[in-house]
Chain A
């Protein structure tokens, strides 16, 4: 699975603001850092404000500041503001999934992948991700393949 752009942009913005909670940043600054559309990001920021994760700062300079709890907010908490990650059966596939062994077996695989993804996203807080982001100088256990 991969995330929709809005979810990714939201994560970039929230994490960028959370890593320096006393700092305020404008939408354009975040967009430039990540090479993303400022127009699209602006819409995302409005949703994040409504969710209470960030707050807009009025006055000279303006911008946004982190307003949430980085230790209690998970990646899932941010993503679910923009998309549903729960496995859903497309109504047009209901017969394949509900009435054929192959359809049901493939749906079970899809559910399994989704459950792993949800468990992962629900377990990573903003604080954890920031702590072990590359270049932070904190050693993390990396998966070796």
Chain B
């Protein structure tokens, strides 16, 4: 449990050994264990890192207590290059202490160095917690709308 005297978290790039902690944090936050997904993310964002890809963790007393993942994407949906934040998570014991904001600010700095001026994300309408978090970082509704539909059953499966 985090205490007032706990070491102030530092933000650093994720390393391969952080995988287990990230999987655990994500499971707490989402209720779903996704080890394969995070293995793939680590392969792409940590081991095969390239310009514009960022996987950062917040660490306190040697423990990973939060993370943020994002990437510069260009020209998808007609959008000029911008930074996308795909995931952000902070251990419940460390929430409301500015850790999420620091993670977001740090990835924003890196996006700026990558040459982009806008950061975006996508959040479920039902996810009030994360909607409020990103609003608190100053994000507002962007010029794009996510649309979707269910696909009809495949004739092969009929």
Q: Chain A interface (Cβ within 8 Å of chain B)?
A: 74, 115-116, 119-120, 122-125, 127-128, 131-132, 138-145
Contact = CB atoms under 8 A, between A and B. Distances in A.
B131 A132 contact: no
Interface stretch (B12-20, B26-34, B133-141): B133-141
B142 A125 contact: no
Given A128-B136, A140-B138, 10 more contacts: A115-B125, A123-B131, A123-B132, A123-B135, A128-B132, A128-B135, A141-B118, A141-B119, A141-B139, A143-B142
B153 interface: no
A120 B141 contact: yes
- Count class of interface residues, chain B: 10 to 19
A130 B132 CA distance: 14
Best-buried of B128, B135, B143 by chain A (most CB within 10 Å): B135
Interface string B41-84: 00000000000000000000000000000000000000000000
Contact of A138 (B131, B135, B138, B142): B138
Contacts of B136: 125, 127-128, 131
24 contacts: A115-B125, A116-B125, A119-B125, A119-B131, A122-B131, A122-B132, A123-B131, A123-B134, A123-B135, A125-B136, A128-B135, A138-B138, A139-B138, A140-B138, A140-B140, A141-B139, A141-B140, A142-B140, A143-B140, A143-B143, A144-B118, A144-B142, A144-B143, A145-B143
Contacts of A138: 138
Nearest to A74: B132
Best-buried of A120, A123, A124, A143 by chain B (most CB within 10 Å): A123
B135 A141 contact: no
A125 B132 CA distance: 7
Contacts of A116: 125
Contacts of B132: 74, 122-125, 128
A118 to B, nearest CB: 8
Nearest to B108: A141
A111 to B, nearest CB: 12
Contacts of B139: 140-141
B25 to A, nearest CB: 22
Contacts of A127: 136
Nearest to A145: B143
Contacts of B142: 143-144
A128 to B, nearest CB: 5
A74 B129 CA distance: 12
B1 to A, nearest CB: 22
A141 B134 CA distance: 11
Nearest to A123: B131
